[in-house]
């Protein structure tokens, strides 16, 4: 296992796209959260009634411990950045034909898939570290009075990690099956950004309650919209609480789906001709 990790790191550490992805993630995660904190501050610093109303309704979503939740929610919009990298890492193996060479040199088929699993884990961990750093940064910046509450709601860290890993696993599966980088990226972006969103909107409009079972929605529903969202509208509070109650189910479903994806990859790869 350790030697597989070492070999995958040899492949990744000099891959320019890895460092580009890391750089962009380092900019976008604090960036998107920065935009929201900016909007929040503009609202709440107003001296009029609207300002104090906003402060009352919103609370401070970036103060500890809410920052764990808020930053996780906003950062998760950008999973497509590491997803592009995951797709590149697997489709590169096909275009360089190193998926054959690794086997010729003495890896088993299982070793190869485990190597890729390690890649997806490495990227998920890196992205989660950026998330943790961003959440801590904004937590300190937003409200120093709440610093002692930093240990509350820490469960958002494993939830964020699991969501990232689950969604990157879907990206991996696409790259693994499609083999061609641009086609896989095209399908991924088209489905992730357009198809599933339209499906969700349509099914909700038709009041067919199955949206939470769609591939990305399964894990999206582990990180429900931040607490302040529950303070808008007359049904919002009950909707928010219902969504929170479903989180354990969504976690279980996510684990099942992700395990199934990797199980299929292992099974298929052990039978496949590597052409």
Partner 1 sequence: MEIILSLDEISKSYGPIKALKEVSMQIPRGSVFGILGPNGSGKTTLMSIVLDVLKANSGTYSWFGKGNHPTERKKIGSLLETPNFYHYLSAVDNLNITSAISGRGNPEDINRVLEVVKLTERKNSRFSAYSLGMKQRLAIAAALLGNPQVLLLDEPTNGLDPVGIMEIRDLIKSLAQKGITIIIASHLLDEVEKICTHVAILKKGNLLTSGHVDEVLANEDIVELAAADMEQLKKCIAEMGGYSSIKEEHQRLQVHYPLGTANMEAINSHCFRNGITLQLLFNKKKSLESKFFELTND
Q: Are 161 and 124 in contact (CB under 8 A)?
A: yes
Closest separation in Å from C-beta 114 to partner 1: 13
Question: 148 vs 275, which CB is nearer to partner 1?
Answer: 275
Interface residues with partner 1 (CB under 8 A) are 3, 6-7, 10-11, 14-16, 92, 96-98, 100-109, 111, 271-275
Question: 3 vs 151, which CB is nearer to partner 1?
Answer: 3
Question: 6 vs 237, which CB is nearer to partner 1?
Answer: 6
Closest separation in Å from C-beta 107 to partner 1: 6
> Which is nearest to 26 in space by CA: 133, 136, 139, 121?
133
Per-residue tokens: 3: 């030697």
Q: Are 60 and 143 in contact (CB under 8 A)?
A: yes
Closest separation in Å from C-beta 80 to partner 1: 22
Closest separation in Å from C-beta 182 to partner 1: 16
Question: 47 vs 271, which CB is nearer to partner 1?
Answer: 271
Question: 17 vs 50, which CB is nearer to partner 1?
Answer: 17
Closest separation in Å from C-beta 3 to partner 1: 7
Question: 103 vs 140, which CB is nearer to partner 1?
Answer: 103
Cβ-count burial of 109 within 10 angstroms (0-12 exposed, 13-18 middle, 19+ buried)? middle
Question: 234 vs 271, which CB is nearer to partner 1?
Answer: 271
Q: For the chain, give the secondary structure using H, E and C.
A: CHHHHHHHHHHHHCCHHHHHHHHHHHHHHHHHHHHHHHHHHHHHCCCCHHHHHHHHHHCCCCCCCHHHHHHHHHHHHHCHHHHHHHHHHHHHHHHCCHHHHHHHCCCCHHHHHHHHHHHHHHHHHHHHHHHHHHHHHHHHHHCHHHHHHCCCCCCHHHHHHHHHHHHHHHHHHHHHHHCCHHHHHHHHHHHHHHHHHHHHHHHHHCCCCCHHHCHHHHHHCCCCCCHHHHHCCCCHHHHHHHHHHHHHHHHHHHHHHHHHHHHHHHHHHHHCCCC
Closest separation in Å from C-beta 175 to partner 1: 16
Closest separation in Å from C-beta 120 to partner 1: 18
Question: 3 vs 148, which CB is nearer to partner 1?
Answer: 3
Closest separation in Å from C-beta 118 to partner 1: 14
């Amino acid at each position: 296992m350790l030697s597989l990790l070492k070999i995958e790191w040899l492949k990744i550490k000099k891959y320019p796209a890895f460092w580009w992805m890391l750089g962009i993630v380092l900019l976008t995660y604090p960036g998107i959260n920065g935009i929201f904190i900016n909007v929040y501050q503009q609202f709440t610093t107003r001296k009029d009634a609207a300002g104090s109303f906003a402060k009352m309704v919103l609370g401070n979503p970036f103060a500890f411990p809410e920052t764990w939740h808020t930053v996780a929610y906003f950062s998760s919009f950008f999973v497509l950045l590491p997803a592009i990298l995951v797709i590149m890492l697997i489709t590169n193996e096909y275009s360089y034909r190193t998926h054959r060479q690794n086997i010729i040199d003495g890896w088993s088929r299982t070793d190869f898939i485990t190597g890729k699993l390690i890649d997806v884990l490495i990227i998920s961990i890196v992205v989660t570290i950026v998330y943790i750093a961003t959440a801590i940064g904004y937590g300190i910046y937003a409200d120093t009075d709440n610093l002692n509450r930093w240990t509350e709601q820490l469960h958002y860290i494993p939830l964020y990690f699991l969501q990232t890993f689950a969604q990157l696993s879907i990206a991996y599966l696409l790259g693994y099956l499609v083999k061609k980088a641009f086609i896989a990226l095209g399908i991924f972006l088209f489905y992730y950004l357009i198809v599933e969103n339209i499906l969700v909107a349509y099914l909700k409009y038709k009041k067919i309650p199955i949206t939470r079972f769609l591939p990305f929605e399964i894990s999206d529903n582990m990180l429900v919209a931040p607490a302040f969202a529950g303070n808008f509208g007359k049904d919002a509070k009950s909707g928010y609480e219902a969504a929170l109650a479903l989180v354990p189910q969504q976690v279980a479903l996510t684990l099942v789906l992700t395990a199934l994806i990797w199980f299929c990859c292992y099974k298929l790869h052990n039978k496949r001709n590597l052409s």
